[in-house]
Amino acid sequence: MSAGKKRLVVASNRGPVSFARDESGRPVTRRGAGGLVTAGSVALARTGGLWIAAAMSEEDRANAGRTLEVGTAGAGFHVRLLPLDPSDYERFYDGVSNRVLWFLHHSLWDVPRAPTFEGLADAWRGYERVNQAFAEALEEELRLADGRDAVTLVQDYHLALVPSLLRGRSPEAPIVHFSHIPFAGPTEMRILPQPVRESLLAGMLGADVVGFQAPSWAENFLLCCRGLPDARVDLRRRLVRWKDRDVRVRVYPISIDPAALREEAATEAAAEEEREILQWIGDRRLLVRVDRAELSKNILRGFLAYECFLEANPEWLGRIGFLALLNPSRQHLAEYRAYAEEAAELAGRINRRFRREDWEPIQLSLKDDYPRALAAYRLYDVLLVNPVFDGMNLVAKEGPVLNGRDGVLVLSENAGAFAELGRHALAVNPFDVGATAAAIATALKMGPAERRRRARALRRAVTRNPVEAWAGAQIEDLGRIIR
Ligand code: G6P
């Protein structure tokens, strides 16, 4: 089965386009950001096909139902935004996806206190109904494809039930479920109430192939399936026997499009930001982090590590600047808002402690500023990527591709990207603040030859895995499995 012959249908919560209004109130479409949009769009642009996503906002809902065309002629595809009941959508997106599954799979709960699962039963019903709506839309699409084989790529924790719901309606459909985030191990999985836990696993096992970003997440999934009554798990062959079918568990590390990224970095907006950063940093060294302002990114320990580094290495006071570019995420939820506020307070405290008349240790920006992130990538001496757990982490790939200073990557062992890039980075246990501080010091002391060698190796490792390989490998695997 080659990608060229198949009609692709991608399903995800956040789609490749959304609707908004410009300053004068006119409706405008916006292209979504992030790795899924890039890799999914590349796959769909090659084969044509359809992307089904949730209508997430009022504006989206006003435009839902009709099919939109995205991309250029010959490399375009269609997008359909699903109209969903707003209160069900809230249960699905906030109640289950953001408050429960995100926390579970990234180990974010302060377990002596949380979770308590108040309201989960009600939220879960909304989650089921939204997953059902996706399965219905997909089935309708498969029926319309009529005879032409279609491959369904279902994305992420939002849509964990879709594979089995679709399998029930369309038993022969080739289905992949792919998780962009980590997958919890069996001990943590036991935090979830049993029926929810079993529904999630059984839901994903409706697929022919269950894909993950990194080997650890695939292993965790297999180990969790061992707790499912009636599932037979072959760890060595990464296979789960479930309801008389074999489900393959595979790893497909997502990548980036270096050429497109370089083009974006060559714009005047990025050049302007570069000049601005250079003015701020002067002849000091530059430490950078670029993240969504979100709990799994471990922003607080990153600042604490920097503080610890300054304390232990006073000769660096005034000779380094930390540019922290944080893009606000899910700020309508109190947990996420409080975290961003705590990060800002901590940066403020560190600045008050160490600042000098002509020097501020941390410059924190809490806004969506892509051109500035691109400029920071080009200029960093050290890039700090220290998530507690992360499915992949594309900052660790984007930075080295753009950087022009042989900058050093300090990388969490718990980021999926570590499997591909870890050898060329300085590895850190993200919980160990002292070790992270020491890694920053080592990076700054590293000689030019070693910096160059590591920077080149990082660039090669990223470009060796082209962005189109992600969907291509999934489709090929399906072809081998389905006769
Ligand atoms: C991660 C997930 C994506 C999600 C993104 C942003 O990268 O893998 O599925 O879209 O975070 O989260 P949001 O809730 O804003 O879509």
Residue 27: Cβ-neighbour burial (10 angstroms; 0-12, 13-18, 19+)? exposed
Nearest-atom index, ligand 1, CA of 179:
8
Sign of CA pseudo-dihedral 453, 458, 463, 464: positive
User: How much is the pLDDT for 483?
Assistant: 57
How many Å lie between the centroid of ligand 1 and the Cα of residue 245? 30
Å from CA of 367 to ligand 1 middle: 17
List the beta bridge partners of residue 77: 70
Rounded distance between C-alpha atoms, residue 222 and residue 239, angstroms: 8
Least Cα distance to 57 among 24, 93, 12, 18 occurs for 18
**Residue 229, phi then psi, degrees to nearest 5:** -55, 140
Mind listing the pLDDT tens digit for each residue in 72-96?
666 789 999 999 999 999 999 999 9
Residues pairing with 209 in the sheet: 176, 248
Could you tell me the CA-to-CA distances from 346 to 321, 431, 469 in Å, in that order?
16, 17, 41
**Number of neighbours of residue 445 by Cβ within 10 angstroms:** 9
Write down the pLDDT at residue 73.
62
Question: How high is the pLDDT of residue 5?
Answer: 63
Determine phi and psi for 327, rounding to 5 degrees. Answer: -95, 115
pLDDT lower than 50: segments of the chain: 1-4
CA–centroid distance for 95 within its chain: 19
Closest residue by CA, ligand 1 atom 3: 180
Residue 198, amino acid: E
66 burial type by CB count under 10 A (0-12 exposed, 13-18 middle, 19+ buried): exposed
Q: What ligand 1 atom has the least distance to the C-alpha of 35? A: 7
Q: Which of 273, 268, 306 is nearest to 376 (CA)?
A: 273
> Phi then psi for 411, rounded to 5 degrees?
-130, 130
Give 19-57 pLDDT, tens digit per residue: 888 888 887 888 887 888 888 888 888 888 999 999 999
Q: Identify the pLDDT of residue 164.
A: 98
Burial class (CB in 10 A: 0-12, 13-18, 19+), 471: buried
The DSSP call for residue 359 is B
Tell me the CA–centroid distance for residue 315 and ligand 1, in Å: 40
pLDDT of residue 3: 45
Ligand 1 atom closest to Cα of residue 93: 14
Q: Enumerate residues lining ligand 1, CB below 6 A.
A: 14, 34, 36, 156, 180-181, 329-330, 391
Candidate of 181, 290, 291, 326 to mutate for ligand 1, largest count of ligand atoms within 8 Å of Cβ: 181
Report residue 277 as tokens: 């950063």
C-alpha triplet 93, 94, 96: angle, nearest 5°: 75
Q: What pLDDT shows up at residue 148?
A: 57
Judge if pTM exceeds 0.85: yes
Q: How far is the CA of 109 from the centre of ligand 1 (A)?
A: 18
**Torsion sign, CA atoms 31, 33, 38, 43:** negative
